[in-house]
Structure 1
Amino acid sequence: MNLDYFQLIDRIVDLDIAKQTIVVEAQVPQQHTIFEGHFPGFPIMPGVLLTEAMAQSSGWLLLGVLKFERMPFLAIVKEAKMRGFVSPGQLLTIDAKVEHEGSGFAVTKAKGYVGKDLKCSAEITFGLAPFPDPAFRVHMDAMAHKIGFPLQAMPHD
């Protein structure tokens, strides 16, 4: 995780375009200033960042399903539940599945785990739009490479 740049996904473990599922990992930093205020003496990952990590996981899944032809933008978070604490140094594993895609929107369901313990879940809706800028698309391609997006799932020009 690179909290300073809001890059919460470290690596893609599995991406199955046919099943429309993804599994990612995010190593929660052992030390970060965010834990100084959340909470002093009892540092835990903020629920809003767990929700964002589920949204980013879902976003990478949608990029693959959509063949990088459209960009998912967060629209709605429903049924977000924080079911336990995620502490500094823990490995967060997130899985997501597409529930619906069409009419300019997509809906995913995502869950976050530490080991086998469910820590968070949410239903997330995205608006789907063309990439807003060619430079942004180049940046997303570079990030996809960095986190291990499967090359066979990347479109080739």
Structure 2
Amino acid sequence: MRPEVFKMIDRVVSIDPSLDTIHCQGLVPQESSIFEGHFPGHPIMPGVLLIEAMAQTTGWLILARNRFERMPFLASVKEAKLRTFVLPGANLDLYSKIEHEGSGYVVVKTEAKLDGKQICSADLSFRVLPWPEGKMKAVVLKVAEHVSFPLADYADA
């Protein structure tokens, strides 16, 4: 996990064959500039970054469903619940399940667990659009290799 540059996923663990659920992992770094102000003397992972990690988990699932032909953009966060503090060094298990897809949107339920216990959850919506002009798709494909995304199974790229 490199929260300073919004790379929250370290590894795609599994994607179910129906492309409805995904499991990813992210290791909260022991040291990071995000902890300098959050909070001095008691570093904790900001809740907004936990939501971002759940959103990125979902992003990988939507990319798989669309075989990397379209890109997801976070559209809304609903029912977000943050249940406890997440400390540096925590190894997060992140899950997402698609609830509905249609009209260019995907709605999911997502959660993060620590040691098997749910620490946060949210209902997220994504807009799925064509890739913007430029090198963005190529950069995402390179990140996919880094996080062990099974490109051979889910990308026509």
TM over 0.5: yes
**Is 1:13 the counterpart of 2:13 in the alignment?**
yes
Same amino acid, percent of matched pairs: 48
The 1-side partners of 2:102 and 2:134 are apart by 24
Aligned to 1:69: 69
C-alpha contact 2:47 2:82 (8 A) present in aligned 1: yes
Q: Helix, strand or coil for the counterpart of 1:120?
A: strand
Matched, 1:150 2:146: no
Q: Report the Cα distance in structure 1 between the residues aligned to 2:97 and 2:30, rounded to whole angstroms.
A: 29
Task: Determine if contact 2:68/2:156 at 8 Å carries over to the other structure.
Answer: no
**Paired residue type of 2:105:** F
> Hey, what does 1:116 align to over in structure 2?
116
Measured after TM superposition, the shift of residue 27 of structure 1 is 0.4
Aligned to 2:84: 84
* Cα distance in 2, alignment partners of residues 151 and 112 from structure 1: 24
Equivalent in the alignment of 2:29: 29
Partner in structure 2 of residue 94 of structure 1: 94
Is 2:4–2:33's contact at 8 Å kept on the other side of the alignment?
A: no
The answer to whether the 8 Å contact 1:17/1:64 transfers is no
Matches of 1:138 and 1:77, distance apart in 2? 27
TM-score (norm 1): 0.95
Cα RMSD after superposing both structures: 1.2
In structure 2, distance between residues paired with 1:152 and 1:100: 26
> Shift of residue 19 of structure 1?
4.5
1:103, distance to aligned residue in structure 2 (A):
0.3
CA-to-partner distance for each residue in 1:36-76, whole Å, 9 max, x for gaps?
21112221100000000000000111100111121000100
| Local SS of the residue matching 1:109 | strand
1:17 CA displacement: 4.0
Q: Which runs of 5+ in 2 are unaligned?
A: none
Runs of 4+ in 1 over 6 A off after TM superposition: none
Task: Give the Cα separation in 1 of the matches to 2:9 and 2:103.
Answer: 28
Equivalent position of 2:138 in the other structure: 138
**Secondary structure of the equivalent of 1:64?**
helix
Cα distance in 1 for partners of 2:72, 2:78 equals: 16
Alignment partner of 2:36: what SS?
helix
Secondary structure of the residue aligned to 1:55 is: helix
How far apart are residue 126 of structure 1 and its match? 0.4
Relative to 1, partners in 2 of residues 1:17 and 1:130: Cα closer, same or farther, differing over 3 Å? Answer: farther
The answer (yes or no) to whether the contact 1:17–1:65 under 8 Å persists in 2 is no
Stretches of structure 1 lacking an aligned partner (at least 5 in a row): none
CA separation in 2, counterparts of 1:126 and 1:151? 21
